[in-house]
């Protein structure tokens, strides 16, 4: 089991990605995929607005980049670090990519699928269940989202 403090630096990198999403009008959510040695092998930010892609969530972008970097879809031993609790699509992508763990910042009570509304990643009916580390730099992650939505209301 890893602790929240282990994931501070990767979460800061994910927060940098989230801040960059604002420039394209996208919701500020960022993600990175870290390999077993601690190297970032995939980065992503929301690009739904920028690319007109309904699947353009930060997690999906980061997982795709990590898979390209490894030359395979299996991301065993890797960790997905994301600023907001993944939705059902992204939680499913984490399970299907076989990441070892999912680390997230803020909880998402409206659409979270890693414990809040659903718990896709720990569903015993699935063949892979990643470890979950929640609440890493949660206040910073939540503040980015609150500021973004305050400006869009």
CA–CA distance from 141 to each of 29, 74, 104, 127, 134 (Å)?
A: 8, 28, 9, 30, 12
State the catalytic residue, choosing from 17, 59, 65, 85: 59
Residue 90, annotated as binding a ligand: yes
E strands present in 57-151: 79-84, 101-106, 131-134
CA atoms of 90 and 117, how far apart (whole Å): 14
Q: Which of 74, 76, 80 is nearest to 60 (CA)?
A: 80
User: Is 57 annotated as belonging to a binding site?
Assistant: yes
Please give the Cα distance from 119 to 136 (Å, whole number): 18
Residue 131 known to be catalytic: no
78 annotated ligand binder: no
Catalytic residues: 59
Known binding residues for Zn(2+): 57, 87, 90
């Amino acid at each position: 089991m890893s602790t929240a403090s282990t994931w501070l630096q990767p979460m800061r990198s994910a927060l940098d990605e989230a801040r960059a999403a604002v420039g394209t009008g996208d919701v500020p959510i960022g993600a990175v995929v870290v390999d077993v040695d601690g190297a970032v092998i995939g980065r992503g930010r929301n690009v739904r607005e920028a690319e007109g892609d309904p699947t353009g969530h930060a997690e999906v972008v980061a997982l795709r980049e990590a898979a390209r970097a490894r030359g395979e879809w299996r991301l065993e031993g890797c960790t997905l670090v994301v600023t907001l609790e993944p939705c059902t699509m992204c939680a499913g992508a984490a399970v299907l990519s076989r990441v070892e763990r999912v680390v997230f910042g803020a909880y998402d009570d409206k659409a979270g699928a890693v414990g809040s509304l659903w718990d896709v990643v720990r569903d015993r009916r699935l063949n892979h269940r990643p470890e979950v580390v929640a609440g890493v730099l949660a206040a910073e992650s939540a503040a980015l989202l609150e500021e973004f939505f305050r400006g869009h209301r």
